[in-house]
Structure 1
C-alpha cells in the first residue's frame, strides 16, 4: 500500500505544471502569414505564442465582428480554475499521505481520480462553450459578412480538438504541455488505485489462508 500511496502523493503534484505551461494551444496558419499566429491558453489567462500574435488576431477578428480575446479579469474561469487546481493538488497529496499511514484505502485514490475527471470534463465543456460564443456571437455591423451556401451567417468557432479550415486559415487546436502533465498525474493516481486494490486483495487472501490454517 505504501507504493500506491507514494504514487498518489506524486500524481497530483504534476498538476503544478498547469501554472508553468499552457493547457491548450490554438494556431492559425494562412498564406499571408509565413509564421502562423497562435494562442496559448493557460488556466489563468491567454497569451500569444509570439509577442504580437494576440494583437494581430484581434485585428483580423475585428473585420468579421468577433470579440477581442478576453483578458484575465474578463473571464471568471481565469480566477476560479487556479484555485480549483490548488485545491485538488492539496486534496490529492493529503489522501496520499493518509494512505501511506494506513488511514484511508484505495477507494479514496479512485475517488480523487473520478472527481478530477469530472472537473476536467466540465472544464472542457466550458471551454467549448466559450469557443462557440467567441466564434458565433458576431457583431452584425462588422465590416465583412460571410455567409454559408444556405444564407445563414458563417460561424468562426475554432475546433475544440484537431484541425479545421476557416476561410483561408487552417486552424489547429491541441493540448499543450500543461494538459499532458495533468493527464500523466491523473494516470499515476489511477495506477495508485489499482496497486492499492491489488495490495488489499492480496492481504485479504493471506488472511483467509491463515484463518483456514488455524
Structure 2
C-alpha cells in the first residue's frame, strides 16, 4: 500500500498551502472604482488585495452602518483554524506513513477525508453566518439608512459563493488558491483510498 500511503501524505501536506495562500476572495466593483476593491480571506486573518483596499472598504461601510473589517484578534476563528489545519496535516501524514508500512487499513484514508469534509462544512457554515451578521447587524445611527420596497432596512451581506448586486457594487465571492489546494489535497486522499481498496481487492 506504498503508493496509497504516499498519495495520502501528499494530499495532507497540500493543506499547508492555506498558510501561504488565501482561502477565499471577495471583490467589489463599481463605476467610481476603476480598480476593484478586494479582500483576501486567509485562515489567519483578512487582507486587502491592494494596500488601501481594506481602508477604502471600511470607509464605505461606515456610511451604511457596517462594522470595520475584523482584525485577527477580533475573531476566534483566526486563532483556531490554523491549529485545526496543523492537526489535520499531522494526522494525515501519520495515517499515510502507517499505510505505507501497512499498519492501518486503507479505510483510514476515507476516515480522514470524512473528518476533513465535516470540518470544512462547519467552517463554511461559520463563514456564512459571519457574512450574514456582518451585513445585517447595522449601526442604527448610520449616515445612510436605506430600506427595501416594503420598508424594512436594507442589508448588505456579501454572497458566500457567486455574484450579487449591492447598491451600485457588483460583489463577487469565490474560492481562492488556498481553497483549491485544499480541494486538490482532499481529492488525492480519496484517490489514495481507491488505490488501497483496489490493491486489497486483488489480494
Partner of 2:108: 108
Q: How far off its partner does 1:79 sit?
A: 0.2
Partner of 2:126: 126
Partner of 2:195: 195
Partner of 1:30: 30
Once residues 10 and 59 of structure 1 are traced to their aligned partners in structure 2, the CA distance between those partners, rounded to angstroms, is 43
Once residues 70 and 194 of structure 2 are traced to their aligned partners in structure 1, the CA distance between those partners, rounded to angstroms, is 41
Give CA-to-partner distance per residue, 1:1-42, whole Å, 9 cap, x none: 111111011100000100000000000000000000000000
Once residues 2 and 117 of structure 1 are traced to their aligned partners in structure 2, the CA distance between those partners, rounded to angstroms, is 24
Q: How far off its partner does 1:61 sit?
A: 0.2
Once residues 128 and 199 of structure 1 are traced to their aligned partners in structure 2, the CA distance between those partners, rounded to angstroms, is 41
Give 1:3-22 correspondences, 5 Å limit: 3-22=3-22
The Cα RMSD (Å) is: 0.4
Once residues 79 and 194 of structure 1 are traced to their aligned partners in structure 2, the CA distance between those partners, rounded to angstroms, is 34
SS at match of 2:173: strand
Partner of 2:178: 178
For structure 2, the 5+ residue unaligned runs are none
Once residues 153 and 107 of structure 2 are traced to their aligned partners in structure 1, the CA distance between those partners, rounded to angstroms, is 50
- The answer to whether residue 53 in structure 2 is matched with residue 57 in structure 1 is no
Q: How far off its partner does 1:99 sit?
A: 0.5
Q: How far off its partner does 1:133 sit?
A: 0.5
Once residues 88 and 77 of structure 1 are traced to their aligned partners in structure 2, the CA distance between those partners, rounded to angstroms, is 16
Partner of 1:46: 46
Q: How far off its partner does 1:134 sit?
A: 0.3
Partner of 1:142: 142
Alignment size in residue pairs: 203
Once residues 157 and 36 of structure 1 are traced to their aligned partners in structure 2, the CA distance between those partners, rounded to angstroms, is 18
Partner of 1:154: 154
4+ residue stretches of structure 1 with deviation over 2 A?
none
Taking structure 2 as the reference length, what is the TM-score of the superposition?
0.99
Once residues 58 and 98 of structure 1 are traced to their aligned partners in structure 2, the CA distance between those partners, rounded to angstroms, is 49
Q: How far off its partner does 1:97 sit?
A: 0.2
Give CA-to-partner distance per residue, 1:37-86, whole Å, 9 cap, x none: 00000000000000000000000000000000000000000000000000
Q: How far off its partner does 1:141 sit?
A: 0.6
Once residues 157 and 197 of structure 1 are traced to their aligned partners in structure 2, the CA distance between those partners, rounded to angstroms, is 44
Give 1:196-211 correspondences, 5 Å limit: 196-203=196-203
SS at match of 2:152: coil
Once residues 198 and 110 of structure 2 are traced to their aligned partners in structure 1, the CA distance between those partners, rounded to angstroms, is 13
SS at match of 2:10: helix
